[in-house]
């Protein structure tokens, strides 16, 4: 780790302790400073959640209950039923002894502040982009446990693309997911944006919040390296904007088989404008300033670095960095017209599981920040809402991994089994249709018309839509 990285980790650790003390001193039942309320939304004070009430209560009517107090919210379909059966059998959702760090702030701070544990083996590749910029791909190659399980019976192991948060910090949960996936037979690879996590910034251009152009080139390269392997994608927190933008822009042309978003930020513009509770706002802002300070000289010709490093909020920092540029300034509205992750959500043709917590202190209460109409109307989007977990936490008793990791990999397994069964049934239907057509040509009996397409519509209620 470079010297500035160690200093940053120490600063964040001290800052986290002060933030935790401040949060513990708040009166229960009172909203955090800077807590978000969307325009026109009714303000509600819930305090600590209890069984049968709290922020998740509005999702309980007509939703599918799961072990551990979780609920699956989605549009009914054959895939939804398959996923529901898989989640009901999942041991990760079974209620167990709650760890001592079960509070939402503790889970969140442990996720972001604690350093990444030793022992992981990463093989880094730098990918030069069309505009001569660089992104990094970290392939997780070890340690490899004995008895490694295959993910695709009869085929090649699947590739798991992991997208960290938008601040560029590689958290212990991201690496824990990669190690668990490696044990289950995946090829995990972590995508790092320009200037993030040691990736050099060779041109004075950073990646906007929801611009998937760099990710497209990285996925094309991964597809070139593993042309026959299935590709799954997972994003963490604010990194979900990048993944959702990619799925929406590419539509059915996406190479991704299935995707999952852990604690996603879905209404990003409102999230920036309303602000976070001040400990998280100051912590994320400090991390970005320290990370970009090494490129201050290179960015002087592009942005007003003096104003950038004096920013007092995430919105001011984002607006100065990407809107108030010296070469091509744009308005805040125009920026979000091009970077809202849900701008092309109707074009997405890949199943997406969003794992969220009702006590998320970074995103806010679910009745204010989750677009429930998306999950009710779009058959590709599934919401797994839990009562506890914080932001990207979902921790369990050591040494068990975060239960969100287990659920994500079980979800990918259910997708693989579902699509394999679907293809098998389609193959049987084609052979049956061909056999019946041959009988009609050669038999002397009166002909009886058979419509294979109508029988398929009766068998399947799930169809892969091709929108582009």
Out of 105, 192, 388, 391, which one is annotated catalytic? 391
Q: How far apart are CA 160 and CA 290, in angstroms?
A: 30
Q: How far apart are CA 406 and CA 423, in angstroms?
A: 26
Q: How far apart are CA 194 and CA 202, in angstroms?
A: 8
| Closest alpha carbon to 92 in 417, 366, 395 | 395
Longest dimension (CA), the chain: 88
Q: What is the DSSP string of 240-290?
A: HHHHHHHHHHHGGG---SEEEEES---SHHHHHHH---HHHHHHHHHHHHH
The SS3 call for residue 371 is coil
Do 348 and 251 meet the contact criterion of CB atoms below 8 Å apart?
yes
Spacing of C-alpha 367 from chain mean position: 19
CA atoms within 13 Å, Cβ hemisphere of 249: 17
Buried b (16+ CB within 10 A) or exposed e, 365-387: bbbbbbeeebbeebbbbbbbbbb
Tell the burial category of 218 from Cβ atoms under 10 Å away from its Cβ (0-12, 13-18, 19+). Answer: buried
Please list, in sequence order, all residues whose beta carbon lies within 8 angstroms of the beta carbon of residue 420, skipping any fewer than 6 positions away. Answer: none
**Can 388 be counted among the known catalytic residues?**
no
360 is catalytic: yes
**Residue 164: how many CB atoms within 10 A of its CB?**
26
- The helix/strand/coil state of 188 is strand
**How far is residue 39's CA from residue 62's CA, in Å, rounded to a whole number?**
27
Catalytic site residue from 360, 368, 388, 405: 360
Catalytic site positions: 360, 391
């Amino acid at each position: 780790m470079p010297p500035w990285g160690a200093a940053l980790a120490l600063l964040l650790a001290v800052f986290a302790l002060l933030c935790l003390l401040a949060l513990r001193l708040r009166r229960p039942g009172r909203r955090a400073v800077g807590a978000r309320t969307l325009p026109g939304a009714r303000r509600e004070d819930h305090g600590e959640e209890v069984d049968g009430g709290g922020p998740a209560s509005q999702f309980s009517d007509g939703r599918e209950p799961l072990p551990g107090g979780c609920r699956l919210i989605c549009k009914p379909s054959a895939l939804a039923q398959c996923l529901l059966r898989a989640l009901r059998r999942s041991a990760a959702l079974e209620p167990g002894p709650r760890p001592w760090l079960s509070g939402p702030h503790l889970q969140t701070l442990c996720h972001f502040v604690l350093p990444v544990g030793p022992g992981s083996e990463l093989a880094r590749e730098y990918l030069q982009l069309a505009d001569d910029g660089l992104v990094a791909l970290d392939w997780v190659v070890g340690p490899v446990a004995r008895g490694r399980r295959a993910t695709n019976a009869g085929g090649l192991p699947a590739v798991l693309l992991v997208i960290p948060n938008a601040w560029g910090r590689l958290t212990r949960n991201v690496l824990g997911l990669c190690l668990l996936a490696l044990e289950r037979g995946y090829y995990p690879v972590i995508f790092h944006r320009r200037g993030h996590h040691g990736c050099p910034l060779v041109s004075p251009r950073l990646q906007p919040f929801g611009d998937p152009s760099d990710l497209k080139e990285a996925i094309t390269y991964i597809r070139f390296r593993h042309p026959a392997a299935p590709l799954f994608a997972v994003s963490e927190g604010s990194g979900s904007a990048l993944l959702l933008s990619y799925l929406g822009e590419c539509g059915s042309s996406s190479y991704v088989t299935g995707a999952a978003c852990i604690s996603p930020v879905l209404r990003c513009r409102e999230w920036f404008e309303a602000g976070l509770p001040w400990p998280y706002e100051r912590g994320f802002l400090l991390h970005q300033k320290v990370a970009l300070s090494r490129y201050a000289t290179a960015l002087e010709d592009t942005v007003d670095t003096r104003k950038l490093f004096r920013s007092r909020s995430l919105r001011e920092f984002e607006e100065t960095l990407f809107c108030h540029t010296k070469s091509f300034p744009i308005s805040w509205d125009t920026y979000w017209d091009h970077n809202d992750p849900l701008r092309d959500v109707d074009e997405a043709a890949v199943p997406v599981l969003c794992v969220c917590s009702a006590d998320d202190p970074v995103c806010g209460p679910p009745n204010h920040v989750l677009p429930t109409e998306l999950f009710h109307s779009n058959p590709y989007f599934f919401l797994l809402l839990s009562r506890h977990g914080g932001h990207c936490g979902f921790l369990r008793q050591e040494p068990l991994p975060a239960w969100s990791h287990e659920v994500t990999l079980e979800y990918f397994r259910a997708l693989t089994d579902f699509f394999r069964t679907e293809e098998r049934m389609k193959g049987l239907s084609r052979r049956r249709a061909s056999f019946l057509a041959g009988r009609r040509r050669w038999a002397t009996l009166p002909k009886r018309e058979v419509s294979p397409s109508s029988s398929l519509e009766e068998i399947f209620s799930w169809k892969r839509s091709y929108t582009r």
